[in-house]
Structure 1
Amino acid sequence: MDKANQTIQITIDADSGIPIWLQLRNRLVYLISSGGFAPGDKLPTVRELAVSLGINYNTVSKVYQDIERDGYIASFRGRGTFVSDAYLKNEGSAENEADSLIDDFIRQCRELGIPRQEISALVERRLKLTE
């Protein structure tokens, strides 16, 4: 598959209520874990992706750093950013995936300035709504 076309597969909905960085992160992780990008594939540069999506350079940089920490990509100075298969060591573990979602949620709540006790109350309230 032409890698230039894969950038087109990434769309951002500024009106969705989901932070732009999280939309981008989720889409990249999906493309990598579903085989849209294979290990060793070169990803667009941070600047290229920011320009093509019309979003801030720092947002893309933050996402790349985040998914690199999780083992989805590896960056090499002067060579670029490539899909990694390091994330596969945790693949298939629903607990790890759930932990990752929870960690993202907690991080986002803290970025919004929500105290720990209120985060727990939010979760409890939402759980009651789904019963």
Structure 2
Amino acid sequence: MNKEIIHTNKAPEAVGPYSQAVACSANKLVFLSGQIGLDPNTGKLIEGDFELQVRQSFNNMQAVIEASNATLANVVKMNLFLTDLTKFDVVNKIMSEIFPKPFPSRSTVGVLNLPKSAEFEVEAILAL
């Protein structure tokens, strides 16, 4: 997979660990369903700690990525959903720790509710 980062000074800089746009040539695209902070062993939501819930969501996403015979470097687009956008910086911090540069493109959306009363959900598109 060949990933090309698209950047222009005519649009605002990214306000987190993501790129303005990503172009890629791929043999296969993989569309990951949203992942929330469910513990895969118990099926229960990590509760009481937003950061742990975000980390578990990313761990769940990474498990599906690995099952696709891919790595985080194959992620070209992500969608993040938060029930509280004041926690946006927490997600950016965690994402910058987890993802290799160059970062994928990304959208972040504030939502009223998520499944199982989760506070965070992540979905991704991979290019293999």
TM-score w.r.t. length of structure 2: 0.37
Structure with the bigger percentage of helix: 1
Structure with the bigger percentage of strand: 2
TM-score w.r.t. length of structure 1: 0.37
